[in-house]
Structure 1
Amino acid sequence: MINKIKIINEIIDYIENHLYENLSIDDISKVMNYSKYYLHRLFSNIVGVTIHDYINRRRLTESAEFLVFTDKPIIEIALNSGYESQQAFSNAFKDMYKISPKKFRERKSFYPLQLRFFIGKDFINLKYEIFTPEDIDIVSKDDIEKCMDLVKLVVDGFPGFEQAQYMESLIEHIQNKEAFIIKYNDNAIAVMFYSIQKGNIDFLAVHPKYNKREILITFISKIFNDLSSNREMISITTFREGDKADRGYRELLLALGFIESDLLTEFGYPTQKMILKRKGFEELL
Structure 2
Amino acid sequence: MDHNKVIERALIHIEDHLQQSLTVESVANTFNMSKYYFHRLFSAMMGCSLNQYILSRRLNASLTFIQNQNSSLTDIAYQLGFGTQASFTRAFKRQYGVAPSSLKTGITTISPVPIPTVVKRPIKNINGDIVTAFTLTEFKETRISGIAFEVDLAHDDYKEKIRAHSEKLLSHIDETINDPCYVIYSNCQPDSTRFKVLFGIPSSIEIDKPYYFTVDVPQIFCAMFNYCGELLDIGDVLKSDYARFLKISRQETAETDIELIQAFDDVHHLDSTYHIYAPIKKLPADSDL
Q: TM-score range by the shorter chain?
A: 0.3 to 0.5
Flag the structure with more relative contact order, 1 or 2, with Cα contacts below 8 A and sequence separation at least 6: 2
* Structure with more helix by fraction: 1
Alignment TM-score, normalising by the size of structure 2: 0.46
Alignment TM-score, normalising by the size of structure 1: 0.47
Q: Larger Cα Rg: Structure 1 or Structure 2?
A: 2
